[in-house]
Copies of this chain bind each other. A is one copy, B any other.
Amino acid sequence: MTEADETLGALGESAVLRRIFPRLPDAASALLGPGDDAAVVAAPDGRFVVTTDTLVHGPDFRHAWSSPFQLGWKAAATNLADVAAVGARPTALVVALVAPASTPAAWLEAFADGLRESCAALAPGCGVVGGDLSVSDQLTVAVTAFGDLEGRAPVLRSGARAGDIVAVCGELGLAGRGLELLFERGVGHAGEPDADAATALRPTFDRELDAQLAPHPPIGSGVVAARAGATAMMDVSDGLALDARRLAEASGVVLDLDAVAVGSPLALTGGEDHALLATFPAPRELPAGFRPIGRVVAGAPELRVDGRAFTRRGGWDPYADWDGGSG
């Protein structure tokens, strides 16, 4: 059998799973792993944190730009970031993958390698405890991630109070710039995503492209912020402006950001940062990794920048913003 014959369709589900299982990361919390109808995961404090997020070919990634390793990495990282955002330690993932029958088994192996290396780098001990493999015309990855609050209360979006410091941990705007670069210069003559054009952007734009394609969210800082008394927290995934407004609305407060501290305009409107946005009681020394970008003020919920209402939407709405392209 040549490598070209080794597609999911040619091999079938069972043979593909036998090749993937050994590459998946083990979860220290797994009491019963993949292979039965359901897995069993430890929840030492009698609760578990759960979040789910999907990556769809077309709106969320392009094969010309993302390697399977990067896609596996990102699918884990974005979900781990949501676990961290409530102050929990990630423990386990389940992964549902629907892929065309023509997908090479080697593609899935590299995807599994990305899941494994992402967990190892960002959340050691977290692993894959189960999943589902099915067929589709449009490759879609749905990851569900679990976490352990270690006895703490979850840090919600709704806890910010007037007088708190607004702080952020992680890069802002870099992932959005990476996506801009890919759409502007990672394309062929007809504007279609092009692997060679994207590769030519390296090494000059390594930081921007890596932030977009294989992000390193500050997963451990979620627990650090919770221990340091964060009053509210969330993952910045849809652009700081949109997400800060959501936190303001959930908490019933005004968030007033300092434009200089925030940085570039893209830091406000670019998406997929996976930074942690948090509020802390003032005066207080911020925990390691967090930098102040504004303050919480009483008033009808809104976002302000340098004291003025900031109403531009920014961010990303999958229904309003996807142009239908893939490639």
A38 touches B85 (CB 8 A): yes
Does residue A210 face the partner (Cβ distance < 8 Å to B)?
no
B86 touches A40 (CB 8 A): yes
Least Cβ distance of A55 to chain B in Å? 8
Binary interface encoding of chain A residues 98-138 relative to chain B, with 1 for a CB under 8 A from any of its CBs, else 0: 10010000000000000000000000000001111111111
Residues of B within 8 Å of A37, CB to CB, are 51, 82-83, 85-86, 157, 233-235
Does residue A225 face the partner (Cβ distance < 8 Å to B)?
no
B130 touches A52 (CB 8 A): yes
Does residue A293 face the partner (Cβ distance < 8 Å to B)?
no
Least Cβ distance of A234 to chain B in Å? 5
Does residue A58 face the partner (Cβ distance < 8 Å to B)?
yes
Question: Number of A interface residues, CB 8 Å?
Answer: 74
CA distance A292 to B95 in the complex (A): 35
CA distance A145 to B131 in the complex (A): 11
CA distance A260 to B49 in the complex (A): 47
B129 touches A50 (CB 8 A): yes
A319 touches B56 (CB 8 A): no
Does residue A142 face the partner (Cβ distance < 8 Å to B)?
yes
